[in-house]
A and B are shown apart, each in its own frame.
Chain A
Amino acid sequence: MLACGIDIGSAQTKCVIMDGNAILQGRGIVHTGANQQRAARHALKAALREAGVEEYDLSITLSTGYGRHSIPFSQKSETVTICHARGSIYRYPETRTVLDAGGQEMTAIRVDAEGNVLDFAMNDKCTAGTGRFLESIADLLNMSMKDFRGIKYHETDPLFVSNACSVFAEQEVINYLEGGKEVEDILGGVFEGIAERGASLLRRVGLEDEITFTGGVSHISGVSSALELVLEHKVNSGIDGVYVGALGAALLALDQSKHR
């Protein structure tokens, strides 16, 4: 019995395969790009390869993410919020509050011990403080996300960068560069701005121990460090944070196949 969870985000498409005991068997990740179906196929292929199984071995596939309705090979779909809540509990069982920062969305979720959503708050239409925003700053600085991961927040002297609007923030970054400021200190400010936006969403749903940080942005340790500092609280985050939505999707798929 194998279940597949696939998370088609605005930036990246993630796929995981789990066996009947909820043990992870394979993972795949690709850029979503302009063709969601193609991205989903490629992510699935990568996960199948890692798991060493074929597509016909999969009992059930559940899709999530903004492109969840465009996947022909999934039988079920669920919202990202529900999947992230479930996936967070799987990774960190004591989680009660989740912050998910993805390509275009930032969501704070309060969950119960089973991973059910109690409350959630999302950023409005604007994408300031999300992965897309970080990408555009990286682009401006001619750097990559990998470079960003190397920035130690504690070693920077963060400059103030507005977190209300990406366009304004970009302008501020340009002004700092013009003033000859250090790139590291500018990024420290960018990370802090994202952390503050996340913290305000978290406070809206209510902070409860433990706090888990998920989504692609959680891989940037500078942001999670800044978040810990802003919240004055420890935050769980790991290298597979980007897969949490797909993990949740696979777990929900397992549940559904058991109920059948």
Chain B
Amino acid sequence: MYTCGIDVGSRSTKVVILDEDSTVRGRGWRLTGGKPADAAHEAYNEALAAVRLSQGSIDATVATGYGRRLVGGDVEQYTAVTCHSAGIYHAFPNTRKLIDIGAVRSAAVKLNDHGQVHRFRFNDRCGAGLGRFLERLAETLEIPLEELGQLALFSRDPQEVPGICSVLAETEVLNHITRGKKPADIIRGVSEALAERVASMLRQVWTDDGEISLSGGTAKNAGMVHALEEVLGKPINIHHDSEFMGAIGAALIARETIDKKLKTGTSA
């Protein structure tokens, strides 16, 4: 039995296919761009090709992310918060607090003991774009995005960057460059400012118990993770598939719906 999760984010579209043991068998990834439906379709085909399956062998599919309504077909939809929570709870069952840092939106979620969403909080409209902001920073500094986080760890003299508005932060980054500041110190300053922003969101859903997990592509950024751990004063669980966590959660939910149907006998 195979289930599929499609996560149409504002920046990128992720698709995973899970097998019976809830192991990831195939992944698909595309930039979402101006045509989310096409991106979803292409990423879906890529994931199918990776498992060498035809569309007919997928038993259930769930779509999530901001563009979930554009996927089309007979696909159930769940919110990104629900799917990320499902994915993270499956990977780290002791998680009670989840931070999802996406390209444009971030969420802090409190989970109950059964992994269900108890309470959550989005970033307000502004202060959006943590993931995208890091991407732009990488571009400005001419450093590959994958290396950005590593570099921040070498900073000795973090430069202050305003944390509230991404636009003003970017101006300040350019000013630091003009003053000849080191990229590592600039990145470190940005990471600290962003971490503080995320932490203040998390404090609104705060409980002291349980582990903290991070999902979304930003979890691959070691500098951001380090800055977050420092601000929160606690280690954070990171999954190697963090970028696909929404899609994995969606596929897990698809699996649950099948199980439920089987139990009630409405479908074979």
| Beyond known contacts A34-B142, A170-B132: 11 more, CB 8 A cutoff | A34-B141, A34-B183, A127-B167, A128-B167, A141-B34, A142-B33, A143-B33, A171-B128, A178-B36, A178-B69, A183-B35
Cβ distance A112 to chain B, nearest Cβ, rounded Å: 31
Cβ distance B252 to chain A, nearest Cβ, rounded Å: 24
Complex partner residue of A165 from B32, B34, B167, CB under 8 angstroms: B167
Complex partner residue of B67 from A127, A136, A139, A177, CB under 8 angstroms: A177
B178 within 8 A of A: yes
B241 within 8 A of A: no
Tally B residues with Cβ within 8 Å of A: 36
Contacts of B33 in A (CB 8 A): 140-143
Contacts of B70 in A (CB 8 A): 178, 180
Contacts of A66 in B (CB 8 A): 174, 178
Tell me if B174 and A178 are in contact (CB < 8 A): no
A84 to B192, CA, bound (A): 38
A174 to B178, CA, bound (A): 32
Q: Which residue of A lies closest to B127 (CB)?
A: A167
Tell me if B178 and A36 are in contact (CB < 8 A): yes
Cβ distance B233 to chain A, nearest Cβ, rounded Å: 29
Cβ distance B162 to chain A, nearest Cβ, rounded Å: 10
- The answer to whether A167 and B167 touch (CB under 8 A), given A34-B183, A104-B174, is yes
A163 within 8 A of B: no
Tell me if A125 and B171 are in contact (CB < 8 A): yes
State the A residues within 8 Å of B (CB). Answer: 10, 33-36, 66-67, 70, 104, 125-128, 132, 136, 139-143, 165-168, 170-171, 174, 177-178, 180, 183, 186
Tell me if A167 and B183 are in contact (CB < 8 A): no
Tell me if B126 and A127 are in contact (CB < 8 A): no
Tell me if B166 and A167 are in contact (CB < 8 A): yes
A236 to B31, CA, bound (A): 37
Tell me if B170 and A170 are in contact (CB < 8 A): no
Complex partner residue of B178 from A70, A142, A143, A168, CB under 8 angstroms: A70
> Can you report 26 A-B residue pairs in the complex whose CB atoms are below 8 A from each other?
A33-B140, A33-B142, A34-B140, A35-B142, A70-B180, A104-B174, A125-B168, A127-B171, A128-B167, A132-B170, A139-B136, A140-B10, A140-B11, A141-B33, A141-B34, A165-B126, A165-B167, A167-B125, A167-B126, A167-B166, A168-B126, A170-B128, A170-B132, A171-B125, A174-B104, A178-B70
A117 to B53, CA, bound (A): 68
- The answer to whether A10 and B32 touch (CB under 8 A), given A34-B183, A126-B167, is no
Which positions 98-142 of chain B face chain A at CB distance < 8 Å? 104, 125-129, 132, 135-136, 140-142
State the B residues within 8 Å of A (CB). Answer: 10-11, 31-36, 66-67, 69-70, 104, 125-129, 132, 135-136, 140-143, 165-168, 170-171, 174, 177-178, 180, 183
Contacts of B180 in A (CB 8 A): 70
Nearest 5 Cβ contacts at the A-B interface: A142-B33, A183-B34, A141-B34, A34-B141, A142-B31
Tell me if A177 and B36 are in contact (CB < 8 A): yes
A140 to B135, CA, bound (A): 11
Q: Which residue of A lies closest to B67 (CB)?
A: A178
Contacts of A10 in B (CB 8 A): 174
Contacts of B126 in A (CB 8 A): 165, 167-168
Q: Which residue of A lies closest to B179 (CB)?
A: A70
Tell me if A178 and B66 are in contact (CB < 8 A): yes
Tell me if B31 and A167 are in contact (CB < 8 A): no
Contacts of B141 in A (CB 8 A): 34
Q: Which residue of A lies closest to B8 (CB)?
A: A178
Tell me if A167 and B10 are in contact (CB < 8 A): no
Contacts of B167 in A (CB 8 A): 126-128, 165-167
Contacts of B143 in A (CB 8 A): 34
- The answer to whether A171 and B104 touch (CB under 8 A), given A178-B67, A178-B69, is yes
A89 to B143, CA, bound (A): 39
Contacts of A165 in B (CB 8 A): 126, 167
Q: Which residue of A lies closest to B168 (CB)?
A: A125
Contacts of A70 in B (CB 8 A): 178, 180
